[in-house]
């Protein structure tokens, strides 16, 4: 899954830009009171797990566009520059931009996670959502003080992209 791997390019972007959900597993057919368990299976559609996985992998890959990844990396670089210049307004604006994008990705991926039939894909999407949510948190962003801190970003994203690559290829 090449486009997910481009997320690792954030590391290089930070270096050049810097200033130097929960899943809903409630499906239990025929478990509600007053219904016949014989009728439930006929109403439960069979899911083609391979097709579902292929669809969600393609949609998740298309969601995270390379130019948006670069922009998030640029914003991390702006945070570093703002800290070095002691410019709290610029730092705050960059954090808002990062959070807006990572929250948007996490929300859309959360929908896909709910739709995923394969438990491994659900888990991989959960790992990616966690990484993106972490990236938007002030506590996480506080650790970026110089371009040398880009390794933290690489570690966060590599774990998430590796999980998706294992499932989606």
- On whether the CB atoms of residues 5 and 161 are closer than 8 A, the answer is yes
Element (H, E) at 55: helix 49-63
- On whether the CB atoms of residues 76 and 101 are closer than 8 A, the answer is no
Whole-number pLDDT of residue 44: 55
Q: For 120-139, how does the pLDDT look when each residue is reduced to its tens digit (9 = 90+)? A: 999 999 999 999 999 999 99
The radius of gyration of the chain from alpha carbons, rounded to an integer in Å, stands at 20
Q: For 145-164, how does the pLDDT look when each residue is reduced to its tens digit (9 = 90+)? A: 888 887 888 888 888 888 89
Copy the structure tokens of residue 49: 């797990």
Determine the Cα–Cα distance for residues 99 and 138; give it in Å rounded to an integer: 9
Flag whether the pTM goes above 0.85.
no
- CA 114 from centroid of its chain's CA atoms: 14
Residues 6+ apart with CB under 8 A from 112: 56, 59, 60, 63, 125
- CA 28 from centroid of its chain's CA atoms: 28
The alpha helices in the chain, defined as continuous H runs, are 2-5, 10-17, 39-43, 49-63, 66-84, 88-115, 119-135, 138-141, 150-168
Determine the Cα–Cα distance for residues 152 and 134; give it in Å rounded to an integer: 11
């Amino acid at each position: 899954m090449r486009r997910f791997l481009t997320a690792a390019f954030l590391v290089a972007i930070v270096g050049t830009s810097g200033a130097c959900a929960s899943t809903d597993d409630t499906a239990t057919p025929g478990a509600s009171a007053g219904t016949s368990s014989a009728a439930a299976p006929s109403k439960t559609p069979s899911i083609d797990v391979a097709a579902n996985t292929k669809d969600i992998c393609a949609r998740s890959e298309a969601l995270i566009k390379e130019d948006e990844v670069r922009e998030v990396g640029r914003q991390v670089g702006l945070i570093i520059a703002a800290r070095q210049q002691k410019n709290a307004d610029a730092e705050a604006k960059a954090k808002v931009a990062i959070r807006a994008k990572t929250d948007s990705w996490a929300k859309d991926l959360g929908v896909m996670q709910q739709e995923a039939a394969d438990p491994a894909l659900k888990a991989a999407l959960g790992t990616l959502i966690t990484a993106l949510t972490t990236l938007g948190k002030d506590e996480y962003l506080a650790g970026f003080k110089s371009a040398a801190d880009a390794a933290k970003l690489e570690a966060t994203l590599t774990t998430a992209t590796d999980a998706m690559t294992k499932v989606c290829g």
